[in-house]
Structure 1
Amino acid sequence: MTRLTHSAPPAAAAAVAAPATPTTPTPAPTPAPTPADLMERLARAADGYYHCFGLIAAQHELTPMQGKVLVLVRQPMPMRALAGLLGCDASNVTGLVDRLEARSLVRRAPDPTDRRIKTVRLTDRGEAVVREIDTRMLDHLPGLERLGEEGRRALLDLLDRALPGVQPG
């Protein structure tokens, strides 16, 4: 009588006989940042930006607030609007503008439609200082250039969606 034996197919036998290779466990996915994490990162980024801005403004013998005024009045604006953007009283803006005007960086002019309104605008010297501040800031923020066009568009879109109430100055 012939005895039938069951044997594994050759491929299966080879798989059983092959030594087990160690597998690297797949790392757990990084949890998504919470809104609080993003808020903290934005705060750190803003702190770093304004620290750098303050140092560059100081090289032009400007306080950070004076530098901010210069940047904001690239587009001429009424004193009251400037006070609103700076979040301060109009009397504080008067002092800031007085000091910048004494250095020939800005000038005040009556609004053509309402002479009671004073509009602040950069002088040629003020424009040169703002260009220098911009250039130096970009030197200190090379990552913005490295993003490329599409990356910068995407970042701007994300910032607009995440901070819809924040309007450019």
Structure 2
Amino acid sequence: MTQSTAIGSDLGDRSGLAGDAVRRIMHIASAIRHYQDVEVGELGLTPAAARALHELDPDRPLPARDLAEQLRCDRSNVTALVDKLEQAGLVERRVDPADRRQKTLVVTDAGRRMRERVHRVMSDSRLLAGLSTDELATLRELVWKVSDGGCPEECGPE
């Protein structure tokens, strides 16, 4: 199928082009999510637990309520995620030395190692293997341009 057949006969139809691009992006996102979910499962984590671990900074303990904000979910959901991470020995709850009424989440040494493995899974680029370096640079620039227009502040480079 040619590109013009894939996107319709009227290449000048901006709305049609944009709609096709959005559908393709959603398809790619779904495929990436599928691969990530499978590989995260092989690490013994749920996708939600992996995302929570990925969000934690090993060098900066964080209260669970702040993790809930980062994940954009209810604190009760974070409690269950942290319970799983703690049972796996990846995170510990510790009293915050600055405010003894509060507990913070500390990534353990095992958690640091697992977090690096999760980061590799979340950075898997197998779907982009067929692109040249120039094409990858162009794709990154276009994706950055689009995402910068609609992403919250935390969407910047890591």
Give the TM-score normalised by the residue count of structure 1.
Answer: 0.65
**What are the equivalent positions in structure 2 for 1:91-102 lying under 5 Å apart?**
91-102=76-87
Name the SS for the 1:116 alignment partner.
strand
1:132 Cα deviation after fit: 1.8
Q: For the Cα contact (< 8 Å) 1:56–1:137, is it kept in 2?
A: no
Report SS of the residue matched to 2:93: strand
Provide the aligned C-alpha RMSD in A.
Answer: 3.1
1:119 deviates by: 2.1
Q: Distance in 2 between matches of 1:71 and 1:45?
A: 21
Return 5+ residue gaps in structure 1 as ranges: 1-27
Distance in 1 of aligned mates of 2:146 and 2:102: 33
Q: How far did 1:94 drift?
A: 1.0
Query: Which of 89, 113, 116 pairs up with 1:104?
Result: 89
Aligned to 2:4: none
Q: How does 1:120-135 map to 2 (within 5 A)?
A: 120-135=105-120
2:148 equivalent in structure 1: 161
Give the structure 2 partner of residue 55 of structure 1. 38
Q: Can you give the 5+ residue segments of structure 2 that lack an aligned partner in the other structure? A: 1-8
Name the residue aligned to 1:21: none
Higher mean alpha-carbon deviation, 137-146 vs 68-77, is at: 137-146
Of structures 1 and 2, the larger Rg is shown by 1
What secondary structure sits across from 1:121 in the alignment?
strand
Task: Kindly indicate whether the alpha-carbon contact (under 8 Å) linking 2:40 and 2:121 is maintained by their aligned counterparts in 1.
Answer: no
Whether contact under 8 Å (2:96, 2:102) holds in the other structure is yes
**Shift of residue 38 of structure 1?**
3.9
Matches within 5 A, 1:81-100: 81-100=66-85
Which structure has the highest helix share of the two? 2
Displacement after TM superposition at 1:62 (Å): 0.9
Please state how far the C-alpha of 1:39 moved relative to its aligned partner. 3.5
Letter of the 1:84 partner, please give it: E
Q: Deviations over 1:95-144 (max 9, x none)?
A: 11111111111112233332333222321111111222333444443628
User: What percent of counterpart residues are identical?
Assistant: 30
Which amino acid letter does the alignment assign opposite residue 80 of structure 1?
A: R
Residue 98 of structure 2: aligned partner: 113
